[in-house]
Amino acid sequence: MAAPTHDRQNPAFFALIAVLIFMSVGPVLLLLANSLKLDVDITSGAGGLLFMPTIRNYETALCDILWYQPEHLRFCQIRFGGAFINSIIIALVSTALTLIMGTMAAYALVRFRFMGRDSLSLSTLAVRMIPPAVLLVPVFGLWNNAFCLDRDGLVGGMIREIFGGRGDVCLAGTHSGIILIYVAMNLPFVIWILQSFIVQVPYSLEEAARVDGAGPFQTFFLVVLPLIKPGLAAAAIFTFRIAWNEYLLASALADRNTMTVPILIVNNASEFDGLGTIFATGMLLAIPPILFTLFASRQIITGMTAGAVKG
Amino acid sequence: MPRIRLEGLVKRYGAVEVLHGIDLDMAEHEFTVLVGPSGCGKSTTLRMIAGLESVSGGEIWMGDREVAALDPKDRDIAMVFQDYALYPHMNVARNMSFSLRLQKRPQAEIDKRVREVAEMLGLSAFLDRKPGELSGGQRQRVAMGRALCRDASTFLFDEPLSNLDAKLRGQMRAELAVMRQTVKKNMIYVTHDQIEAMTLADRIVVMHGGHIQQQGTPSELFRRPANKFVAGFLGAPPMNFLEVDLSEEGGVLRATGRGFALALPEALADRARGAAMRKATLGIRPSDLDFAPAATTDRALDLRVVVSEYVGAQSVLICDCGGARVTVEIKSETPVALGETLRFGVRPEGLHLFDPETERAL
């Protein structure tokens, strides 16, 4: 019987909410609807919701990774599928690495006492203040020339034998090269954000775990890590989105085979034929961050440490 | 069960020494209470026994093992923390079984143990709840349960009741006293509350300023405090202290202060004569003063009642005695009016003398 205690809301309030929902969800729905239309339907101006849905646009967009040749295509012009997979690999791996290293670094900075701890903690943020564009030229040079394995050397030769290709084995043009720079770019912020979460885990919990017989790693993984899940989720969303959308560094460091979706779209803007394909690629581009964010945000539960200690 | 022995335990933080060589020998299955005001080093001592603080000097023996350098997990201890320190992401059952799961015991054994302990503490209905869904008293019980589940030889309690409200504290104190009878373990309990210390302890260790002031059974400490600090710390309301001059009058040693001259009982007088002192601090517990209008002046104090605090069957009177404050505990039915000067008889065995310089008892 909660109803009588509620005040009756002004109808205008509901209208306002409806408008807000429409504004935020509308464009996505429009994107989805149009991606399922033929070009003629999109441009006919009717704009109606009555149309025959087709996956043809998606076939066009993903033609390079489909196992069959779509009927309406004479040849596969845009290699969107490959770039899409590159993007997913790079975003996921760099997010995972950033979180692993970030959590451990943040934990050490919060819990261990060592010389220069405070200045180290601050300097992580200072790194963050450098715009990525400044990094571009030196990183480009290093990745192309400095960090290379001789193609006649043992490891370099092996890589060339297995993966093929010419020249010395360099970081430029590899997934690892891009992942590395994304990890370096995101790590300071992740360390910084996780520090504030780890500080909130009561130290007596860790002491209790030690008395209960947990070693340092068990304490970290069984007690601390579950409690900073919300922080991990926030950091993961942040890192994933940056890695997914980043253009500048990836455009300089990627080659034909490792380019990510943003690069592909810019490079091939003129080659997209038809609005339908653009909508379909837009939709595909939006799905991973949406899924990832939905998944990660479910971990963000407030009051995670409630009941741990007398507060 | 190993006997726990501390030898010359020292703790330093940088240049500051907070524990100055603690020597303590605890018997098997003994319930030892470390008690003292905040900052006296009692918690530090406990945490050093637990292995949560490093040892700056001295030794900690458990049975025939020197454990000062060992990790907490290798010391065979269980600990109840002041703020409970329950793992908030685990339910009650998992909280209690954490150490058993770390030891990789068989699941059936873990379940059995958790059920037994939950039964004992009345937690059976809450095993699936998270700590956040429990009340303060229940959390306290879970914290105890977690320690009990782990079959350690020594239990450490770090002010476990100080976060509870007064009523619950009394209740938990009684439960602890019951648990103490059934669980045969070494127990070391830290508190700043002298009532907890008096009611629970086999042995009380009073600490102050990083030194042990006195140790012994509750009644020993209450009846024969070793110094002024112990005398003032144990007992509520605290002991009254009055500055007195000692003088011999006709074979009787008298303690003379402003407005009174008490005759000292023979045993006490002998000890005072032995110390050959002219001045001393006289200690009288509030409960050793009785309303006695007919008493003679060498056995009584004349006190002016300033405040009367009614606490039920007893009343606590705060009185003035020649400028000094004296507290008296009497039965509430005694007719007392504020501002009146009344005569209170002193029980001879309730008189204590302390050296004003060293504060040691005579």
Last residue within a domain, chosen from B202, B233, B264: B233
Collect the ranges in chain B with pLDDT lower than 50: none
Looking at the 3D structure of chain B, how many domains does it have?
2
CB B154 within 8 A of CB B62: yes
How far apart are the C-alpha atoms of B250 and B228, rounded to whole Å? 29
HSE value, Cβ hemisphere, 13 Å, CA-based, for A229: 18
Ordered alpha helix ranges (H), chain B? 42-50, 92-102, 107-121, 136-149, 166-182, 194-200, 218-223, 228-233, 266-275
Which pLDDT score is estimated for B187? 92
B219 contact partners, CB below 8 Å, separation of at least 6: none
Tell me the CATH number at B38: 3.40.50.300
- Which of B20, B21, B36, B28 lies closest to B1 in space, CA to CA? B28
Q: How far is B101 from chain A (nearest CA, A)?
A: 10
Q: Comparing B218 with A47, which gets the higher pLDDT?
A: B218
Q: Is the pLDDT of residue A9 over 90?
A: no
Can you give the C-alpha Rg of chain B in angstroms? 24
A289 contact partners, CB below 8 Å, separation of at least 6: A240, A241, A244
Backbone dihedral region of B26: left (phi > 0), alpha (psi from -120 to 50 degrees) or beta?
Answer: beta
CB B147 within 8 A of CB A208: no
Quote the tokens at residue A244.
């997914």
User: Does B209 share its domain with B305?
Assistant: no
User: Does B125 share its domain with B247?
Assistant: no
Does B277 touch chain A if contact means CB atoms closer than 8 Å? no
Domain-embedded: residue B359: no
CB B257 within 8 A of CB B322: yes
Q: Could you read off the pLDDT of B302-336 as tens digits, one per residue? A: 999 999 998 888 899 999 988 889 999 988 888 88
Domain-embedded: residue B362: no
Which pLDDT score is estimated for A279? 84
A306 pLDDT band (50/70/90 cuts)? low
Strand stretches in A113-172, DSSP E: 148-149, 169-170
Ordered alpha helix ranges (H), A154-247? 154-163, 175-199, 203-211, 216-218, 225-227, 229-245
Helix (H/G/I), strand (E/B), else coil: B109? helix
Q: Which of A204, A218, A307 sits opposite B102 (nearest CB)?
A: A218
Domain-embedded: residue B340: yes
User: Does B45 share its domain with B165?
Assistant: yes
CB A260 within 8 A of CB A178: yes
Segment A223-239 shows an average pLDDT of 90
Which pLDDT score is estimated for A311? 47
Q: How far is A202 from chain B (nearest CA, A)?
A: 8
Which pLDDT score is estimated for A113? 84
What are the C-alpha distances in Å from A284 to residues A53, A89, A95, A238, A250? 16, 15, 20, 19, 19
Strands B324-331, B314-321: pairing kind:
antiparallel
B85/A204 CB distance under 8 A: yes
User: Does B249 share its domain with B267?
Assistant: yes
Residues of chain A with C-beta less than 8 angstroms from the C-beta of B79: 207-208, 211
Q: Could you read off the pLDDT of B126-167 as tens digits, one per residue? A: 999 999 889 888 998 999 999 989 888 899 999 988 888 888
Q: In A237-253, which positions are buried (b, 16+ CB within 10 angstroms) versus exposed (e)?
A: bbbbbbbbebeebbebb
User: Does B245 share its domain with B210?
Assistant: no
Cα B147 from chain centre: 22
Q: How far is B144 from chain A (nearest CA, A)?
A: 12
Percent of chain A whose predicted confidence (pLDDT) is above 90: 19
How far apart are the C-alpha atoms of A52 and A58, rounded to whole Å? 15
Which pLDDT score is estimated for A123? 83
In the sheet with B341-346, reading across from the earlier edge strand, the strands are B289-291, B341-346, B300-310, B314-321, B324-331
Phi, psi of B326 (to 5 degrees): -130, 130
Last residue within a domain, chosen from B200, B233, B266: B233
Domain-embedded: residue B168: yes
Q: Does B237 sit behind a cis peptide bond, omega within 30 degrees of 0 on the bond before it?
A: yes
Q: Tell me the whole-structure pTM to 2 decimals.
A: 0.80
Q: Which of A223, A226, A303 sits opposite B132 (nearest CB)?
A: A303
Domain-embedded: residue B361: no
User: Does B31 share its domain with B106?
Assistant: yes
Domain-embedded: residue B360: no
A1 pLDDT band (50/70/90 cuts)? very low
- Determine the residue among A212, A223, A227 to mutate to test chain B binding: the one whose Cβ has the most chain B Cβ atoms within 10 Å: A212
Helix (H/G/I), strand (E/B), else coil: A200? coil
Q: Could you read off the pLDDT of A181-206 as tens digits, one per residue? A: 899 888 988 998 899 899 989 999 99
Domain-embedded: residue B302: yes
Quote the tokens at residue B208.
């102050």
Domain, as residue range, for B80: 4-233
How far apart are the C-alpha atoms of A294 and A274, rounded to whole Å? 31
Q: Could you read off the pLDDT of A232-281 as tens digits, one per residue? A: 998 999 899 989 988 888 888 888 788 888 888 888 777 777 778 888 88
A208/B87 CB distance under 8 A: yes
Tell me the CATH number at B301: 2.40.50.100
User: Does B244 share its domain with B220?
Assistant: no
- Determine the residue among B81, B97, B134, B151 to mutate to test chain A binding: the one whose Cβ has the most chain A Cβ atoms within 10 Å: B81
- Which of B98, B293, B36 lies closest to A211 in space, CA to CA? B98
How far apart are the C-alpha atoms of B222 and B313, rounded to whole Å? 22
Torsion of CA B316, B317, B318, B323, to 10 degrees: -150
How far apart are the C-alpha atoms of B207 and B115, rounded to whole Å? 38
User: What percent of chain A is helix, strand and coil (3-state, nearest 5)?
Assistant: 70, 0, 30
User: Does B192 share its domain with B56?
Assistant: yes
User: Does B23 share its domain with B76?
Assistant: yes
User: Does B104 share its domain with B191?
Assistant: yes
A49 pLDDT band (50/70/90 cuts)? low
The 8-class DSSP code of residue A79 comes to: -
Strand stretches in A32-174, DSSP E: 148-149, 169-170
Can you give the C-alpha Rg of chain A in angstroms? 25
Mean pLDDT of chain A: 82
Q: Could you read off the pLDDT of A118-170 as tens digits, one per residue? A: 888 888 878 778 887 888 888 888 887 777 777 677 777 777 777 666 667 77
Domain-embedded: residue B86: yes
CATH numbers and ranges of domains, chain A = 14-78+275-286 (no CATH), 83-267 (1.10.3720.10)
Q: Is the pLDDT of residue A103 over 60?
A: yes
User: Does B163 share its domain with B52?
Assistant: yes
Q: Is the pLDDT of residue A5 over 60?
A: no
A214/B102 CB distance under 8 A: yes
B253 contact partners, CB below 8 Å, separation of at least 6: B246, B247, B263, B264, B269, B272, B273
Q: Comparing A20 with A7, which gets the higher pLDDT?
A: A20
Q: How far is A227 from chain B (nearest CA, A)?
A: 7
Q: Could you give the ipTM of this predicted complex? A: 0.83
How far apart are the C-alpha atoms of B251 and B266, rounded to whole Å? 10
User: What percent of chain B is helix, strand and coil (3-state, nearest 5)?
Assistant: 30, 35, 35
User: Does B66 share its domain with B170?
Assistant: yes
Determine whether A98 is exposed, middle or buried from the number of CB atoms within 10 Å of its CB (0-12, 13-18, 19+): buried
How far apart are the C-alpha atoms of A268 and A92, rounded to whole Å? 24
How far apart are the C-alpha atoms of B320 and B306, rounded to whole Å? 7
Residues 129-188 of chain B whose Cβ lies under 8 A from any Cβ of chain A: 130-134, 136, 139, 146, 150, 163
Strands B31-35, B203-208: pairing kind:
parallel
How far apart are the C-alpha atoms of A310 and A281, rounded to whole Å? 52
Length of chain A: 311
A2 pLDDT band (50/70/90 cuts)? very low
Strands B77-80, B154-158: pairing kind:
parallel
Which pLDDT score is estimated for A48? 64
Last residue within a domain, chosen from B212, B233, B254: B233
